[in-house]
Structure 1
Amino acid sequence: MFIPNCLATAVGSFPHLNVKDAVERVFESVPFIPAWPQLPKRNIRENMYTQFSSGMPCFKIDEEEERVYFHIDDSFESQLEEFYTAIIEDDLDYFAITEEYAAGLHHFLNHPFPEEALFVKGQLTGPISFGLTVTDQGRRSVIYRPDIFEVVVKTLVMKARWQVRQLKKLCDKVMLFIDEPYLSGFGSAFINITYEEVVQHLSEVIEAAQSEGAMVGLHCCGNTDWSMVMETPVDILNFDAYEYSKGMTLYPVELKKFLEKKGILAWGIVPSATGLGTTKELHKILIERIDKIASRGIDKRLMLEQCLLTSSCGMGSQTVEKADRVMELLWSLSRVMRGEYFTGGVNYV
């Protein structure tokens, strides 16, 4: 059982073009739970919807148009046969995330790993967001094409397992966060999928990573139905606590049950879009947010013990200077919270 006591980790995406600089920033800022950096500004293959696409039949990358999509043609059946052969044979290497798609991951894997690290963290685009964002050649979201969407889910399952095995070479304790920004649109007229379908598809990917020994988190940087997410076997909920903390107060019964089962709340309290504020200001905001949820009948001490800290979202679209500031604030806030609640004293640095 892992009790984080307000340790910090990174959401994942960074704006750096220099891979070495991004990896060094991670190890400096979140040494207890370092996370490999996604670097979407480097090229389209590091975009969150392309990064985990290799191995998918008929997946096309149009670099000129900066578009990725499925182009289903006469080769689909033969590619599909090869794909399912790899699934049946449990060929994880077929689904490897190569350096071409994730330079940050491979540099991270070859970097000296800090002795003080308790966990290592990775991330993966979730099936719902992938399926809603990526289309076929007719621009229909593939989540509405069962033949293609099954391929998407199976690919993410295999890539989750492959990634956990790679990260275990650095540290036996692995966290894998599933990024699901489009869950914030669930329930709207524009998303025609059911509650049960969301739970089913998320659970399939979550359970795959857990089968390899990972703790699994889900990151959504907007309002969503968190009670639905808590119907899955997820271990960690990562939410934007800076802008959308009220959403978490709507589910006190489910949240209490989740925490009592040793679930972890990862508070995205440092605003990734601005990097504004001081440690003292963010500390005040965080405690106010925690107290608000505690007022709904949730044990405050339990929340503090089972608290991780992150930025509110990824920083792939920001400047390097802003991302550096966010990571400095994250590191400083974690020190303050741990000093106040777990070792005594508060020191704003």
Structure 2
Amino acid sequence: MPIPGNLLTTAMAVMPHTDAQKAQELALSLDIPYWPQLPLLSYYEDMYVQASEHFPGIVLDADNRKLGFSMDKFTAELDEAMAHFEDPEYFDVSPDYSAVYHHFLDLDLSGYPAIRGQLEGPISFGFNIADENDRPILFDDTVRPFLLEFMVKRINVQLDKLKAKNENAFMFVDEPGLQFIFSALSGYNDVKARQDMEYFFSLINRPRGIHLCGNPDWDFLLNLDLDILSLDTYSNGERFVGYTSGIKRFLDRGGVIVWGMVPTNFEPFDQENLDSLTLQLENLWGKLEAKGIDRDFLLSRSLISPATCCLVNPDKTKTVEKAFALIRNLSGQLREKYGLE
């Protein structure tokens, strides 16, 4: 089983730290660690900026923390990008765009049950990057096909690097933008998105999955050819467990669900504790069990994590660090209760 379950812990990569070493130590404290993304340390650490490295047409203004796109620049730089299409290193995250990625790869990670990487996905990237006319590049029929191929290259090279450190490495494709494709105002409907995402994931090496904190059409995601799905269970769990048949199909074909249960925002975190979060999570599992999903099987295919990332707490890193400690305690208590290895 390349992606372990049994309620082991992992987390979202975006962290509020400006101390790269401390952030990496915190990530390494979980069962399935990852390399952190630290946008408060540098704009180059922003998840959209990291994904934009070497993408033709990108206009990056790091001083003013702005990321844009020029079609003229895209046309001028496309041949250069295509000339590197068989060069894996061209698509990897460079040291300039991550304070910890290459340090993470220098560590001995073989003793962990798995490790994880991440990159922003093409739907969210294409929604958030706009051209000179303020039009998202996802809507451009010239740019979008190249965008899909470009992000495939970036994800696969990172996964190859991670697998060299731990054979059970896997990738999150971060796709917060997927919740918007079901809006008539998006300009990009779910039919086209499904076609593009099915093609996109067919080119990505396994194991691969999606993380998002929003509330999309869950059947859309559960029916994609994913190995893992990570969500904000704390906010969206009640709606998610209503998709019982999709969840059952996903689990039966080997999928793993990451239950994001511990809030990292200051106010909701302050209102919860180990017992209250345990009760909420077990209530969700109970609803699935009542509809025919065996609980032991479900837990064997489940991880747990914080609900979201958070950069805006008044106490900076303290609540996030408390949430990591709480998710470890939640995992330990539940694993003991259910007799999990």
Q: Which residue of 2 aligns with 1:110?
A: 106
Answering whether residue 16 of structure 2 is matched by residue 15 of structure 1, we say: yes
**Matched residue, 2:141:** 146
Code of the residue aligned with 1:268 in structure 2: it is G
Equivalent position SS for 2:209: strand
Deviation string, structure 1 residues 40-72 (Cα, Å, up to 9, x no partner)? 111211111111111111211112432101112
Match of 1:329 among 309, 326, 329: 326
Gaps of 5+ in 1: 345-349
Partner Cα distance (2:11, 2:110) in 1: 16
SS of equivalent to 1:159:
helix
Corresponding residue to 1:254 among 246, 250, 255: 246
State yes or no: 1:266 paired with 2:247: no
Number of the residue aligned with 1:99:
95
Distance across 2 between alignment mates of 1:208 and 1:51: 21
Q: Which residue of 307, 310, 327 maps to 2:305?
A: 310
Q: Does structure 1 conserve the Cα–Cα contact (< 8 Å) formed by 2:115 and 2:170?
A: yes
Cα separation, 2, equivalents of 1:183 and 1:294? 28
Q: Is the CA contact (8 Å cut-off) linking 1:5 and 1:342 kept in structure 2?
A: no
Corresponding residue number in structure 2 for 1:24: 25
- Report the CA distance shift for 1:17/1:294 in structure 2 as closer, same or farther (over 3 A): same
Corresponding position: 1:169 with 2:170: no
Q: In structure 2, which of residues 317, 332, 340 is the aligned counterpart of residue 320 of structure 1?
A: 317
Q: CA deviation at 1:343?
A: 4.6
**Residues 1:198 and 2:193 are matched in the alignment:** yes
Structure 2 CA distance for partners of 1:333 and 1:114, relative to 1, 3 Å: farther
Aligned to 1:189, what secondary structure does the other structure show?
coil
1:289 equivalent in alignment to 2:284: yes
Question: In the superposition, relative to structure 1, how do residues 243 and 100 fare at CA in structure 2: closer, same or farther (>3 Å)?
Answer: same
1:53 is the counterpart of 2:52: yes
TM-score (norm 1): 0.90
Cα separation, 2, equivalents of 1:265 and 1:294:
15
Query: Aligned partners of 2:99 and 2:164: how far apart in 1?
Result: 17
Deviation at 1:11, TM superposition (A): 1.3
Shift of 1:254: 1.6
The match for 1:233 is 225
Q: Distance in 1 between matches of 2:98 and 2:196?
A: 24
**1:193-247 CA distance string (max 9 Å, x none):** 222322233334433332xxx3212112121111111232111111111111122
Distance 2:307 2:279 in 1: 16
1:141 is displaced (CA, Å) by 0.6
**3-state SS in 1 of match to 2:223:** coil
**Structure 1 residue matching 2:152: 3-state secondary structure:** helix
CA distance in 2, matches of 1:206, 1:122: 16
Native 8 Å contact 1:52 1:124 kept in 2: yes
Q: 3-state DSSP class of the match of 1:52?
A: helix
In 1, Cα distance between equivalents of 2:74 and 2:117: 31
Cα distance in 2 for residues equivalent to 1:328 and 1:33: 14
Q: Distance in 2 between matches of 1:79 and 1:24?
A: 39
What is the SS of the residue equivalent to 1:243? helix
Q: Indicate yes or no: 2:339 matched with 1:342.
A: yes
Count of matched residue positions in the alignment of Structure 1 and Structure 2? 335
Indicate if the aligned counterparts of 1:217 and 1:237 stay in contact, CA closer than 8 A.
Answer: yes
CA distance in 2, matches of 1:168, 1:260: 25
Amino acid at match of 1:310: S
Instruction: Tell me what 1:85 maps to.
Output: 83
**Whole-Å Cα distance in 2 between the matches of residues 270 and 264 of structure 1?**
18
* Counterparts in 2 of 1:236 and 1:343: CA distance versus 1, 3 Å: closer
Q: Does 147-156 or 281-290 show the bigger shift?
A: 147-156
2:183 maps to 188
CA contact (8 A) 2:52 2:58 kept: yes
Change (3 A) 1:343 1:226: closer
Aligned with 2:113: secondary structure? Answer: coil
8 Å contact from structure 1 (residues 46, 102) kept in 2: yes
Alignment deviations for residues 11-46 of structure 1 (CA, whole Å, 9 cap, x no partner): 111111111111111112x0x311111111112111
- Is the contact between residue 241 and residue 284 of structure 2 (CA under 8 Å) also seen in structure 1? no
**Kept in 2: contact 1:199–1:231 (CA 8 A):** no
**1:114 CA drift (Å):** 6.1
CA distance 1:71–1:39, change in 2 (3 Å) = same
- Specify the alignment match of 1:347 in structure 2: none
- Taking only aligned residues, the RMSD between alpha carbons, in angstroms, comes to 1.8
What amino acid is aligned across from residue 83 of structure 1 in structure 2?
Answer: A
The structural deviation recorded for 1:3 is 4.4
